[in-house]
Structure 1
Amino acid sequence: MPIDAAKALAAEPRTGEISWNSKDVQLYHLGIGAGLPATDPDELRYTLESRLHVLPSFATVAGSGSPGVIKSLSMPGIEVDLARVLHGGQTLTLHRPVPVAGTATATGRIAAVYDKGTAAILVMRTEVADTDGPLWTNDAQIFVRGEGGWGGDRGPSTRPDSRLRSSGGTPTQPPTGDPDKTVERPVREDQALLYRLSGDWNPLHADPEFAKLAGFERPILHGLCTYGMTLKAVVDTLLGGDVTRVRSYRTRFAGIVYPGETLRIRMWRQNGAVRVAVSAVERDDAPVLADTVVEHT
């Protein structure tokens, strides 16, 4: 069996040093669409080193995301085909604002393995700390098609949505009423090619032949790119551009995005949080991100 849940959960955590600098932050910001218009003062906060602040979702790629999703898929008890792997959900908890440059220790482990019958879900946890203490915790929920059915723990209940499921807790009810804010963000044709330079080299996002083997008509955008684009929209429109107000950010990847499409991002204010729904405009508002919450001060 390619996934041995007991072995994966019992494996020793992988610990390594990561580092990043302002160039890495700027590249990430450009990869999620920052810098348009190039001279806009609000955009220069993401692109100009003398004014730079760090969008918290950069934490998903800092130090190339080490130990990283692809690296974690080679941990003891885990041996899967990348063509069957989809990112199901992501949860980021900030303990402090992410610095523009830093060196830290990243500790990664498999926190949970769920058997969904026709698929397996891996929860990969990465905890990052520097000499001053914890910085952030990342939980990535990875959906592996065709690897379930061994009779293991099914995990939290989930509902299917499009082609993806996640294990990120019990799905919440979608927001009701008119959103407080709706914005549209275009995805450039080359955006996946630029975003992958921040460390996610899965060929699903660049190689047309590989994408076809995975069941897609062409390469798809990284889910974490959509994740970053969405957080930037929330920070810029409802949090006054203040990245330090974000405390946590979670989502379920409900569908795919193709480069060249347009994201429709709808936002609802709640007490200390923003609920978000994201869809693809050109495909009749097909869901892209669901159960999405940004908690803030």
Structure 2
Amino acid sequence: MRFGLIGTGPWASMVHGPGLAAAPEVELVGVWGRSAEHCTALAADLGTTAYDDAAALFADVEAVAFAVPPEVQADLAVRAAADGCHLLLEKPVATSVEDARAVRDAADRAGVSSVVFFTDRFIAPSRAWFDEVQATGGWRGGWLRWFSALEDPDNPFGASPWRHEKGALWDIGPHAISTLTAALGPVTRVRAVGGERDLVVLTFTHESGATSTVTLTAYAPLPATGFDAGVWGEAGVLPMPPRPNNANLEAFQVAAAELVTAVTDGRPHPADLALGTHVVELLAEAAAQLGARKED
């Protein structure tokens, strides 16, 4: 399948571009970015064509992968879907419910397939853990803690304006919702409490009856950074395995290949825009609760 890449930042150069270039059944046709200089450089590194017009790229491909800020992605994804392109999207799909639903509805109208790159859903050890959780059953709850250090000089995303503006809720929160949904089932209710800077504690009620908790910040002290997650219930405690080193690149190749399969088979992917939009709805509800508490 002929793919185009939208974006030229760190994520595009580290994961999306190399992932598409190496993915089976994928031909990387070209790259478009908001910086012509960066676009030319990345296209040269990937051995593909730099486009100076996104619409021209959409016209030349069958699918588009996005590695741009969510508010940029939402607008371009609507246009790409209208041009008949299948969508490989970043999380969050958008930072407003209206924009997320607009992308979903555009894809539905055009009849194009979609996959949202919720990373852990495409990593083999994580998938094995999800399978074990589902096969075992009897889970009453779960947890996820993710502390990152956006201000660490070595953080490749430290210069990302939208991450600093939106914080961990919108940057890491989509992963948390996706991961705990895959383990414990759809989330039907969220409650949110904020702390220092972007620190947020979320409590999820799942359709299964389970309750899970999430603690997130993008501004943790470097010694405190880390990730852990798990579920608990009748069988005891089952921790989620850590991500293997350098897992993101292979995971993205899996996501691209599964978008191709979704198109070929005509079946929705479990991590499509239906999930992506629901995640944005939950994040927006959490953000509204945090805003209301600040006003109080």
After TM superposition, is the score higher than 0.5?
Answer: no
In terms of fraction of residues, the more helix-rich structure is: 2
Higher RCO (CA-CA < 8 Å; seq separation 6+) = 2
Structure ranking higher in strand proportion? 1
TM-score (norm 1): 0.27
